[in-house]
Amino acid sequence: MVSTSSIGRKLVMSISGVFLVLFLLFHSLMNLVVIISPESYNAICGFLGANWYALAGTAVLAGGFAVHILMATWLTWQNRRARGSNRYAVTGQQDSVSWASKNMFVLGLVVVGFLALHFYNFWYKMQFVELTGIGNHELAADGAYWVTQLFSQWYYCLIYIIWIVALWFHLTHSVWSALQTLGLSNTKWLTRIKVIGNIGATIVCLLFVSVPVYFLITNLFL
């Protein structure tokens, strides 16, 4: 039987996951603005600078990521320990499980690894600079400048696209899995929430991928 503590951890991971998906949707929409209007993108960056509400939001977001990662790590370890020596056995049930479901933890590590790089390239050079005064203060709120500098490098665009592919696989499973954990698990809704999860994940990832694709086309062909 599944312990109540395991169910509780899955519930916490699902709630934190839904919260992070909403943030990713906001972030992907914000990224799209840099293509349409760099000035508007900088205005958003200025609004999300070193002020109390932005700092509070950053703290909540960091907490959400930490909780999600810790719960995912704990549940992965718990599942591996429960399976023991049978974890490599191939059964009909395992064959029916999606590739993303089998590799959620690895996909999550890819996503987290890129987020660390992303934090260095943007948060560290922007909000951190405004907070501490260490670094180029004049460019701290010029997010469009940093985006242009980074995506002028084809290999960074490629890394970004690889991250988006990993994110898509992660989201296509995690969104409907989270909704299922939160109660939408009956036969009538199961297929529907899978479709909703796939559509939502695809929309978010298409918004994200529009930025590197735009700069690749601009730098290589225009």
Res. 87: pLDDT tops 80: no
Number of domains in the chain: 1
Q: What's the pLDDT at 66?
A: 87
Average pLDDT of span 168-181: 78
Q: What's the pLDDT at 187?
A: 66
CATH classification at residue 50: 1.20.1300
Res. 1: pLDDT tops 60: no
Q: Residue 202, Cα to own-chain centre: how many angstroms?
A: 13
- 21: Cα within 13 Å, side-chain hemisphere: 24
Cβ–Cβ under 8 Å, residues 172 and 100: yes
Residue 28: how many other CB atoms lie within 10 Å: 19
Average pLDDT of span 214-221: 89
Planar angle of CA 169, 175, 177, nearest 5 degrees: 100
Closest of 165, 174, 164, 166 to residue 198, by C-alpha = 174
Distances from the Cα of 141 to the Cα of 3, 44, 180, angstroms: 48, 9, 40
Average pLDDT of span 126-137: 88
Which pLDDT band, with edges at 50, 70 and 90, does 69 fall under? confident
Instruction: List the single range of 99-103, 175-179, 184-188 with lowest mean pLDDT.
Output: 184-188
Average pLDDT of span 91-115: 73
Res. 214: pLDDT tops 90: yes
Res. 28: pLDDT tops 90: yes
Distance separating alpha carbons of residues 10 and 13, to the nearest angstrom: 5
Average pLDDT of span 136-160: 92
Which pLDDT band, with edges at 50, 70 and 90, does 185 fall under? low
Cβ–Cβ under 8 Å, residues 167 and 111: yes
Range of the domain at 177: 4-221
Q: What is the pTM of this model?
A: 0.81
pLDDT tens per residue across span 3-23? 556 677 778 877 888 888 889
Cβ–Cβ under 8 Å, residues 180 and 10: no
Task: Compute the mean pLDDT over every residue in the chain, rounded to the nearest whole number.
Answer: 83
Residue at token pair 């939001």: 57
Res. 157: pLDDT tops 90: yes
Cβ neighbourhood burial of 157 (10 Å; 0-12, 13-18, 19+): buried
Instruction: List the single range of 74-78, 106-110, 129-133, 198-202 with lowest mean pLDDT.
Output: 74-78
